[in-house]
Structure 1
């Protein structure tokens, strides 16, 4: 939409006169993990992201290697990160500090869809509860920071280059990308670009049909040091081409997405720092059920066009130093989304399951960091006012009577909502020599999504659950609330480290699919009749329930002798309903990952084992199938060819093990060697090679 482009341009023009957001300089305490280690974790966390063994196309699989994390695999470019049992919009997900609405009603473009591995500099993870300054969110927070040119040390403009290229055999995929720019001590200018393409993924016994992908990213960024701080500006465009999503009823035909961001960070006076930002994202998306899978009948042919626009801004003042201060601020976000479903072979059949839907949020927060004797404390509090509305749905004359009547009924219903959420977080830590105890208490919230609230037409749009069920929304949904308690410690000696944590999260008004009425399977309502005509006689509706999630995870490692070292992570999470006897859907099974490495001066060789337990604690409500445990092995290494030039190579799933990840979706593509309705298998043996050149 042209109006969206002009709106974004106007936003950037206006915002450029005010100070810009840069990455918060005080997000370096022990509660925040900067993921840059070569293995699952390391004593020195300050390494490059590309040193991690993560050959998939985006950041989701990379992040999933960290403690407490797991990959919800909905497609090569549609993976979601599960963090201690929570995933999707319940996590505060950002790219370069920018939060935005995804374009797909089934989350085919989750946040990490917009973070190609070739462009990632680092990933910042708040595992337990994200800071209140980052906005509301039921769980922790993840911020994927893309590469940018950096300020130089001298006054002369000097070139900077950071590019990489990779080939992976399991899907014959290629990826190339990086940055190039000029910078001195006051100005930085840069361009960013990447391109990836892959074919169907192979597994022991065949191929997973409809899993090819294609994606291109390009953009520019700039920074200017002036007086008190830095003004920054960036624009990025992403064009995702035809990419398969076999767990869903449709595949990606395209995503065309624009990102704008302008900001400032600097000292206005001694011990007074201002941070501000304004941003915009616009997504246009098409998906269908015939381009990447066997052609359906004319009557069953479906295509969908969607859009999502997000405008946001924020401002904060910090009084004091980076580790001892009071911070106050405010932010807002406005989202506009739409979703049209139609048959391209029948012009009279079109319907808008989500029509010109809007949500907005305005919030204020305060944080304080102080020392209470030997204890470092951070206390944060925020309040947000939320609003949501949608227009009466439009539909064509070819729409059957059942959906048409549902549309008319929804048009006469209350289509507006507003509510208030309150978040708070207390973090305590104390450095006691080699050990640092940590304790967190938090109350976190999340407002229902537009799909959860206003999806009146029974469809499979569920925000990425990919369970094969048909859902409808509930306009009266309440805000989700979570009470979190977390305790653990960091221990570090000259040769070893460990960071164990245990946690408990009590969930109130948790949004979960429940049977549409008290007589599931009995077609006694219009919704159930329409759902049955689409193949599901037992639809679910989004409703508020009570639940709980608890577990533990640990990162550990030791230098055994000389260049030989051991690193690993282990995770356990349990999620269940408190109102009925059932488990939460798609909870990762217990797992442990261990890597044994030989590190020489200019090369290293690592063997890695991943052991995953079976999962029998599954959701009956969602029709979830149990899974078996498995063990896989990887072998990889790197070689510094010369200063600034590095070669990585390896083999994943070394013994070509057939395995099925519990969080994988169920196959919906009949043009595949995987049976319809079966959980999708993991990738077979795959060799990869990657070359990176960096010059600063």
Structure 2
């Protein structure tokens, strides 16, 4: 493996020492301690202030109503990025890890979409108006945060029904509407809350639509249109010692493009029900939650993109349902706290591919796939002298299985039929039931050195069992959980769990007017799962891939060895009562340890800075993002290099009153033509972007939104 390049160090120092030269950062963030997590945990929280004007020293964020998911909020978190395959398919990346390696939950609930290619990601199941905050653990995520925290943990807290404990009915609400010029996008969102006594009920709805966008060279990127509606309700009871709530959320996504994937979204219909509660006993505090998600997903390669070959028309209908649960007990033990918990989820998946022009064509891609995971965990935190300790362990079990698959191609004459039949029979005759038991350990230490300086040290051993795509993808396809590298893959039932050995060192300096927090981290990951070139033992799959799609580099999900290391910094400075500046710098490098290559789809060095003016009635912000070139790419994945770029964005908000405000801004002010390294490659023929070119970013775009509270 090549050595660390000195010019990278120079760039990193320059971005930190001279932030005004490389500004950006799209929402305000700060490090705070969550009310349920001790001082040994460093958490970055992005808070949606809605229509309330923040105080001078308060952090806040408000997602744009014209963006169809929450993924853009991740840009405010040091170390976080977004893998983007389309307007509604933002996949969280944190310190180089992404997908289900990063636990992304809504109110602690696991959300597993129906799409085998991650078209309905967890961050697509909400809308900015309905979000209270987004939090990410900065160092080693505690074992209580979620089942799989190999790449950290991100939790989105949704708004709940508010209870005023008044004798008469209290009615409040928010209305929000917006427009974005670059995508001709419009949105309307509304929330209404009613409260009386110890009860509260909230209703909400959100409608979003947008057209294809153009890049900085005025080329249309198609299909990037989207149409999405979300509706729901929450009813809640709170008597003081006892609280419980029942929520319902419906998502209706139609005709939304994903040009980095082989198909586009025809529809996603999902129903999500959740029940949660808490009770304060004499000794223990009890918290519980249970959730159910039922999703149906249709996708095609012909209804939103050009496909003149009717024999190649494909429709994939996928379904999934997930039941998740969590029970946590906590009590004081001396000067510390002990937490015990049990959690888990049961998920079922099916996926069938057909051709509407040929009733005989059918491929059962995934059949009766079961992916069940259960965990027991214990955490203890204690203040010993001037050191705060948080230690936890989790025992977890993964149980997976799959039904028999089939393909109509097995009935064909010739080599194609023989190969399809061989792959089908090999899978059906294999032992597809897998049980794995793993143990996660996390230790965090926080020491306050003096009034302004603190140090954080974290250690962890984290495991992740393979996804159902990595295990049960039996014939060469691109159902890869959103990898979007253009390659076809096959799975391996006998994959081992990934095991990461993690270290994290943080140093934070905080004064009345400034904050600088720097973290450096390193982790070795044994049995990291990444695509590798098919060998002689998989010659049938290799030939099948070439005959079906012309793929000359089919890959197989394989256990390899990898490592990730880097640093991230967030800082802020209050220049005066009205002016402030803040920003973040993130760097990560991912390498293979078994061969001389890099890990796939790793974010390049990037920096952001905001210069903010905060007056009595308005806020103005200058935002500039600088992204370095990425040449450390995976050769085995045929990953393309990308050039660096910088973007300038402007934003302002004016408060007519405490109830009425207007926000407006211009993104990509200089109409820069650029390519984000974490965007996929264009898979769509017949448009202005060549096939297998990396998708460009959106050109200049103005936006405006109006918000009213009552």
TM-score above 0.5: yes
Residue pair 2:377, 2:395 contacting (<8 A) in 1 also: yes
C-alpha distance after superposition, 1:55-95 (max 9, x if no partner): 52211112123211112111000011210001110011111
SS, match of residue 357 in structure 1: strand
Q: 2-side partners of 1:129 and 1:215: how far apart?
A: 35
Quickly say closer, same or farther: Cα 1:38–1:563, change in 2 above 3 A. farther
Give the equivalent residue in structure 1 for 2:528: 510
Deviation at 1:47, TM superposition (A): 4.9
Pairs within 5 Å for 1:350-429: 350-396=362-408, 400=412, 401=417, 402-429=419-446
Pairs within 5 Å for 1:68-467: 68-133=79-144, 134-152=146-164, 154-184=166-196, 186-205=198-217, 206-226=219-239, 228-269=241-282, 271-320=283-332, 324-396=336-408, 400=412, 401=417, 402-431=419-448, 432-467=450-485
Quickly say closer, same or farther: Cα 1:669–1:323, change in 2 above 3 A. farther
Residue pair 1:480, 1:508 contacting (<8 A) in 2 also: yes
Larger mean CA deviation between 147-156 and 112-121 belongs to 147-156
Pairs within 5 Å for 1:489-528: 489-517=507-535, 525-528=539-542
Q: 1-side partners of 2:191 and 2:174: how far apart?
A: 5
| Residue 560 of structure 2, aligned match among 530, 545, 552 | 545
C-alpha distance after superposition, 1:491-525 (max 9, x if no partner): 21121111111111111111010111159xxxx82
SS, match of residue 73 in structure 2: helix
Residue pair 2:56, 2:577 contacting (<8 A) in 1 also: no
Q: 2-side partners of 1:554 and 1:397: how far apart?
A: 53
Q: 2-side partners of 1:484 and 1:45: how far apart?
A: 34
Deviation at 1:660, TM superposition (A): 0.8
C-alpha distance after superposition, 1:281-320 (max 9, x if no partner): 1110000000001133121111100011111212121112
Quickly say closer, same or farther: Cα 1:597–1:351, change in 2 above 3 A. same
Residue pair 2:265, 2:299 contacting (<8 A) in 1 also: yes
Give the equivalent residue in structure 2 for 1:532: 546
Q: 1-side partners of 2:273 and 2:333: how far apart?
A: 30
Q: 2-side partners of 1:48 and 1:258: how far apart?
A: 30
Establish whether residue 563 from structure 1 lines up as the match of residue 578 from structure 2: yes
C-alpha distance after superposition, 1:128-162 (max 9, x if no partner): 33221122321111111222332225343211212
SS, match of residue 94 in structure 1: strand
Residue pair 1:36, 1:45 contacting (<8 A) in 2 also: no
Residue pair 1:332, 1:363 contacting (<8 A) in 2 also: yes
Larger mean CA deviation between 219-228 and 308-317 belongs to 219-228
Give the equivalent residue in structure 2 for 1:17: none
Structure 1's unaligned 5+ residue stretches are 1-22
The CA RMSD over aligned residues, in Å, is 2.1
Residue pair 2:65, 2:177 contacting (<8 A) in 1 also: no
Deviation at 1:27, TM superposition (A): 3.4
Deviation at 1:25, TM superposition (A): 4.5
Deviation at 1:116, TM superposition (A): 2.1
SS, match of residue 525 in structure 1: helix
Deviation at 1:118, TM superposition (A): 3.2
Please, what TM-score do these two structures have when normalized by structure 2? Answer: 0.90
Larger mean CA deviation between 338-347 and 530-539 belongs to 530-539
C-alpha distance after superposition, 1:380-400 (max 9, x if no partner): 101011111001113347864
SS, match of residue 63 in structure 1: helix
Deviation at 1:569, TM superposition (A): 0.7
Quickly say closer, same or farther: Cα 1:571–1:45, change in 2 above 3 A. farther
Q: 2-side partners of 1:415 and 1:632: how far apart?
A: 49
Give the equivalent residue in structure 2 for 1:656: 671
Give the equivalent residue in structure 2 for 1:691: 706
SS, match of residue 543 in structure 2: helix
Q: 2-side partners of 1:208 and 1:530: how far apart?
A: 31
Residue pair 2:396, 2:439 contacting (<8 A) in 1 also: yes
Deviation at 1:37, TM superposition (A): 7.3
Quickly say closer, same or farther: Cα 1:397–1:619, change in 2 above 3 A. closer
Q: 2-side partners of 1:419 and 1:106: how far apart?
A: 24
SS, match of residue 614 in structure 1: coil
Residue pair 1:485, 1:504 contacting (<8 A) in 2 also: yes
Residue pair 2:604, 2:629 contacting (<8 A) in 1 also: yes
SS, match of residue 315 in structure 1: strand
Quickly say closer, same or farther: Cα 1:28–1:113, change in 2 above 3 A. farther
Structure 2's unaligned 5+ residue stretches are 1-32
| Number of equivalences | 665
Deviation at 1:363, TM superposition (A): 1.4
C-alpha distance after superposition, 1:204-263 (max 9, x if no partner): 221101110001011111111146320111011101111000001100000011111112
Residue pair 1:35, 1:45 contacting (<8 A) in 2 also: no
| Residue 504 of structure 2, aligned match among 486, 498, 510 | 486
Establish whether residue 665 from structure 1 lines up as the match of residue 680 from structure 2: yes
Residue pair 1:95, 1:146 contacting (<8 A) in 2 also: yes
Please, what TM-score do these two structures have when normalized by structure 1? Answer: 0.92
Quickly say closer, same or farther: Cα 1:217–1:54, change in 2 above 3 A. closer
Give the equivalent residue in structure 2 for 1:477: 495
Residue pair 1:43, 1:497 contacting (<8 A) in 2 also: no
SS, match of residue 575 in structure 2: strand
Q: 1-side partners of 2:509 and 2:673: how far apart?
A: 37
Quickly say closer, same or farther: Cα 1:636–1:594, change in 2 above 3 A. same
Deviation at 1:185, TM superposition (A): 5.2
The runs of at least 4 aligned residues of structure 1 exceeding 6 Å deviation read 42-45
